[in-house]
Chain A
Amino acid sequence: MRYLPLTDADRREMLSVIGAKSVDELFRDVPQAARLGTKVAGLSDHLGELEVERAFQSYAAKNVSPSVAPFFIGAGAYRHHVPSTVDYMIQRGEFLTSYTPYQPEITQGTLQYLFEFQTQVTMLTDMEVANASMYDGSTGAAEAVLMANRVTRRHKALISGGLHPHYRSIIQTTAHWEGYQAVIGKADVDGLEDLIAGIDKETSCVVVQNPSFFGHVRDFGKLAEACHAAGALLIVAVTEVVSLGLLKPPGEMGADIVVCEGQSIGNGLGFGGPYVGLFATREKYMRQMPGRLCGETVDADGKRGFVLTLSTREQHIRREKATSNICTNAGLCALAFTVHLTLLGEAGFTRLSELNHAKASMLADKLAAVPGLQLVNDSFFNEFTVRLPKPAAPVVEALAAKRILAGVPVSRLLPDDPSVANLLLLAATETATDDGMNALVAGLKEVL
C-alpha cells in the first residue's frame, strides 16, 4: 500500500523491540468482543490512484459545472475567477501540511500570512482588529451574536429579515440551545425594513447584512447610532466580500462587529465549503473575540516575529470559560484569501468590484426586457431579486434542463413563506459573459 512505509520485516523487528508477539497484543485493552479480527465488512479493499481517479471522474460527470453553463447563482457563495498563483501557493506542502502554529519558531510562514490576513480584513471592513478566521461567514455571524451577548451582558438579538436565511437559521439554532432570544424580522424583500423601533434595553445586538440577502445596499449609520444609544452592538454581515471594494465599509457606518464570508476572494465555490469567515471588531472588544489571534512580537535576538496571542480567551487554555469552543479554523482558505487579495492590491480589488457591479447592472437591464419580469431592487451590488409572473422554483428547474443555471428561487431558502414563491435571486460576477446573459434572457422568455 503506497501510503504505508512499514514492511512486514519492519513490523516484526518493531514488535520484538516492544516485546510483543503480535499487534493484537497491543490492542489488549480493547474489550475482546469489540476487537475485529478481520477488516470491517461491507467496504471495498484498497485501490490504486488510477481506480480512485476514475471513481471521482464518474461522480464529477454526474454534475453540471458552472464552467460549462451560463451561471447566475449567488446567495452567499459567488463564482469568481481565482488566479493560478493562489492555488499553487496553497498547495505548497509547507503551508498545506503544517499544523496550527503553536511552535512559532518554525511556523513563521503561517503566522506572518495570518498577520497580513488580519490586517487586510481590518482594511476592507474599516475596523480596528480582526481574528485569524472563522469556519465561514455563517458560523461567524452566530459567534458575533454570542460575543455581543457577552459584551453587553444581554440576551436578546434582533435579526434583520435581510440576513441570509442560513445565517439566520444558525443564529436561531444557537439561540435555542445556548439560551438567548433571537427576534427574527420577516423577509425584507423590498429593503425598507426599519429595525430601530425594535431596539430596547434588553437588546444585545442588531444583525444586518449589506448588501442584504435580497441585494439591497443600505446605510446603517442611523441604526448604529440607535444601537449605541440603547447600549446594543451593531453586527454587519457581508456575504459578498468583493462589494467592499466599492461600498462604504461597515466600520464607517458604525458597526461594532463585522463578519464576512471571504469565499469570493481566493476560494472556489466548492459546493459550499470549505470557506473562510472574516471576523473584525473594535479594539475595546478585542478580548471578547472568538478564535485565534496572531500578534507581533520579538524573538530572543530582537528580531520581529509573530505568535498566536491572547490565548487566555481560548478553549485550550480557558476551557469552560473560553469565549468560544472553536479550535481548527480556516487557515489555508485564509491564505488563499490573502494571496488573491495581495495579487489584486488596491487597484485590482477596486476594479474587480467595479466590474462586478457593472456586470450585474447589465444583467438587470437585459432582464428588464423580459415580459412579466419585474426588478425588485432600486439598489444592488452584484446581486438582485426579480419577481416572476409564476413560481420561481420550476422556472429554475426548466432552465437547468436547458443547461442554464439561472439563480436561486428564494423559496428554496424560505420554504415556509408563500409571499416569496415568485422571487428569483440572481448574481453576476466578472465571470458572466454577454453570451451567457443573452442565453438566460432567451431561456426565460421561453419558459415564462
Chain B
Amino acid sequence: MDRSQGRTGGIVSVGASAPATFTGNRALQIEEPLIFEMGQPGRCGVDLPEPPKVKDRLNGLRRTGGIGLPGLSEPQVVQHYTRLSQKNYAIDMGVYPLGSCTMKHNPRLNEKVARFAGIGDLHPLQPVSTVQGALELIDRLAHWLKTLTGMPAVAMSPAAGAHGEMCGMMAIAAALEAKGERARRRIVLAPESAHGTNPATAAALGFTVKPIPANESGRVDLAALKAALGPEVAAIMLTNPNTCGLFESEIVEISEAVHAAGAYFYCDGANFNAIAGRVRPGDLGVDCMHINLHKTFSTPHGGGGPGAGPVVLSAALAPYAPYPWIVKDGDGWTVAEDGAKVDGQPLGRLKAFHGQMGMFTRALAYMMSHGADGLKQASEDAVLSANYVMAALKDVMTPAFDGPCMHEALFDDGFLKDTGVSTLDFAKAMIDEGYHPMTMYFPLVVHGAMLIEPTESQAKEDLDQFIAALRSLAERAKSGTAAEDFKAAPRFAPRRRLDETLAARKPVLRWRPSNSFKQAAE
C-alpha cells in the first residue's frame, strides 16, 4: 500500500467505530459549541468608557428589550475562533486543487501593505487632496491590468467576478442602446460549459441565453456558433481558457464572426491565470473581460470573499464604463463621480465608493513582486503543473480530452465505471488523504467531472505526493472491492458526510434558544 501524508496505508475501518472519548473531542479535533451556547451575562471582551450623559435625540425610538447577544471575554473569543479555524482546510496547509478557483499562495506581504495606516485607514469620501496616494495606487493597478490584457480601459469598481460580469454586460447593453439595437438584440450565446454566473448575469439583464455546442475537442463548435449568430444576438459570453481547461484555439475566428454579426465578445476571465503575462486577451478580439483579483492576483479567498472583479474594456465599450473612475488632473489625481460632466455615457454606478481598495492594494503588491517576468513564469508554471498532473495520472484516471491542457487538468469518471465509486466518493476519499478535493461535477458537459487546478504554487515533490495519493485511490477504486470504504469517506475529517437533504428540507438558518442542539458528548 502507498504511504501518503505520513499515514500508513489508506482507508481502514475506524471513524464511526472508533471508541468514544468522554468529551467527544478527538485530540486536536475539538467539538465547539456556538457562541450563543457559551456566553454569560456580565462578561464582555472589550472595555469601553462610561458614555457621558447627554440629551437623548433618538426621536423616542430607543430600542426596548434586549438584542440577545452572548457575553464572552477576550480569551474565550480567541479560543473559540481558533478552534473553529482548525476545522478548515486552507491554501496555507497544502495542495488545494480546486479547479476554476486558482487557489494559489496568498503572500503575507500583501496583507501587510494593505494595513498601512496611510492606505487601510482612509475614508472613501475624504477630500481628494488628502487621498492622492490612494488614487495614484488605483491608477497604477489599472495600468498593470490594461497592459497585461492589452485593453485600453478598465472599470475598477465591481466587487467580484459576477459583479464584473454584470458591469461588462451592462456596458454591452449600453453600447447596443446607443446604436438603437438593444430592443432587437435579445440573445446571449454561452457554451453549456459556462460558469453559472454567465447565464445568471445575462438573464438578469433580460437577455435570453442560448447554448452553443462544443465540438469533440471540448471547444466551441465554430460552425454551430456561426449558424447561431444573427441580428438578434447581443453577445457571446465565453470563458477562455475554457472551463474544460482548454484554450479556444479558434478564438480569433470566433471574435471575428461575433463582430461581423454586430455582436460583442464578453470573455469570462476566471481562468486568466493560465495566460497572464504571456497572452493578452486584447490581441484575441475581446470586448470586455472581468479579472478575478482573488484568483489570478492572489488576494485571499477568505472563505468565500471578498473578491474584486475589475473589467477591462475595448475602445468600443470604454465610453459606457460606470462611475467612478480616476482622472489625471495636472500633477495630481481626481475622481469622476456621479454627475461629473464627462465624455461618454457612463452606464451608472455599481457599488458605493471606489471599489475594493483592499483587494487593489494586495493585487498590486502581488504584481510588483512578480513583475512582468515573474507573471509570465507564474502562468507557465501553472500550465506546466497541470499538464504534469494530467500526464502522471492519465494511465489510471481518464482525461476528458486529448492534448495538452492549460492550467487545469480535467478528468471524467470513466475510470470509475462499474466500480461502485462515484466522483463524489472519490473526492471525499481525498479528504482522508489530507487533500482538499478538486472541483467536482463541473463543467456540466463532462460526466462526473473532476477539475484539478494545481496552480504554480506547489513544489514538485508536493505535486508528486498528490499524484501518488490519487494513483493509489484510483487503483483502489478500480480493484472493485473498496466501494463501501469510499462511500464511508471521509472518516478522519472534523465531520463525516453531512446530510444536505435534511438541511434543505428543514432549513435551520439561525440559532434559537429552542433549537439548541444537544452536544454529541451528552
Contacts and interface: CB of A to CB of B under 8 A. Distances in A.
Nearest to A121: B510
A5 B457 contact: yes
B52 interface: yes
B88 to A, nearest CB: 4
User: Sorted from nearest, which 3 A-B pairs have the closest CB atoms?
Assistant: A60-B118, A332-B302, A272-B353
A100 B304 contact: yes
Given A118-B509, A173-B348, A294-B509, A358 B52 contact: yes
Contacts of B173: 177
B381 interface: yes
Contacts of A329: 160, 304-306
B348 A304 contact: no
Given A170-B351, A271-B123, A343 B77 contact: yes
B456 A94 contact: no
A419 interface: no
Contacts of B326: none
A301 B495 CA distance: 8
A26 to B, nearest CB: 5
A447 interface: no
Contact of B159 (A3, A139, A293, A315): A139
Contact of A327 (B96, B197, B495, B502): B197
A96 B391 CA distance: 32
A65 interface: yes
Given A94-B88, A110-B303, A164-B352, A60 B119 contact: yes
A335 B284 contact: no
A342 B70 contact: yes
B133 A63 contact: yes
B431 A103 contact: yes
B162 A94 contact: no
A413 B335 CA distance: 12
A123 B119 contact: no
Given A106-B87, A328-B162, A345-B43, A67 B121 contact: yes
A115 B504 contact: no
B510 to A, nearest CB: 4
B437 interface: yes
A27 B274 CA distance: 9
A226 B303 CA distance: 41
A320 B209 contact: yes
Contact of B113 (A11, A53, A335, A379): A53
A85 to B, nearest CB: 6
Contact of A59 (B61, B133, B159, B442): B133
A416 B166 contact: no
Interface in B27-77: 31-32, 34-36, 39, 41-46, 48-49, 51-64, 66-72, 74, 77
A85 B74 CA distance: 8
A95 B304 contact: no
A77 B113 contact: no
A67 B123 CA distance: 11
B48 A35 contact: no
A172 B88 contact: no
A380 B367 CA distance: 45
30 contacts: A4-B378, A29-B404, A34-B251, A39-B371, A42-B372, A43-B372, A44-B371, A62-B132, A71-B123, A93-B92, A97-B91, A98-B90, A106-B431, A106-B490, A139-B350, A176-B348, A177-B170, A217-B57, A217-B59, A217-B61, A272-B352, A272-B354, A276-B306, A297-B498, A297-B503, A298-B502, A320-B199, A329-B305, A345-B71, A355-B48
Interface string B445-466: 0000000000011111010000
B361 interface: yes
B425 interface: no
A273 interface: yes
A421 B373 CA distance: 51
Interface string A363-399: 0110000000000011111000000000000001100
A445 interface: no
B425 to A, nearest CB: 13
B21 interface: no
Interface residues of A, number: 219
Contact of B275 (A30, A137, A248, A328): A30
Contacts of B72: 342-343, 345
A234 B18 CA distance: 53
Contacts of A197: none
B191 interface: no
Contact of B499 (A103, A297, A347, A364): A297
A46 B371 contact: yes
B384 to A, nearest CB: 6
A169 B349 CA distance: 6
Nearest to B163: A135
Contacts of B126: 64, 66, 73, 400, 405
A183 B223 CA distance: 46
Interface string A207-226: 00000000011110000000
Interface residues of B, number: 214
A209 to B, nearest CB: 13
Interface stretch (B1-9, B336-344, B415-423, B473-481): B336-344
Contact of A415 (B124, B339, B368, B504): B339
A36 B130 contact: no
Among B488, B507, B515, chain A packs the most CB atoms within 10 A around the CB of: B507
A230 interface: no
B125 A105 contact: no
Among A96, A169, A273, chain B packs the most CB atoms within 10 A around the CB of: A273
B185 interface: no
Interface stretch (B99-107, B224-232, B257-265, B311-319): B99-107
B196 A66 contact: no
B183 to A, nearest CB: 11
A63 B119 contact: yes
A351 to B, nearest CB: 5
Given A95-B88, A329-B305, A43 B496 contact: no
Contacts of B200: 315, 318-320, 322, 324-325
Contact of B49 (A119, A355, A400): A355
A20 B460 contact: no
B12 interface: no
Contact of A39 (B246, B308, B372): B372
Among B32, B160, B442, chain A packs the most CB atoms within 10 A around the CB of: B160
B57 A322 contact: no
A217 B67 contact: no
B388 interface: yes
Interface string A48-88: 01011101111111111111100101011101000101011
Contact of B355 (A47, A133, A273, A301): A273
Nearest to A34: B283
A296 interface: yes
Contacts of B399: none
A302 B279 CA distance: 51
B357 A270 contact: yes
A19 B390 CA distance: 12
Contact of A299 (B24, B136, B499): B499
Contacts of B64: 248
Contacts of A30: 247, 249, 275, 279
B54 A357 contact: yes
A400 B403 CA distance: 61
Interface in B411-448: 427-428, 431, 436-437, 442
A100 B339 CA distance: 37
A346 interface: yes
Interface in A170-204: 170, 172-173, 176-179
A62 B133 contact: yes
A39 B275 CA distance: 11
B249 A31 contact: yes
A296 B508 CA distance: 5
Interface string A269-313: 111111010000000001000001111111111111111011110
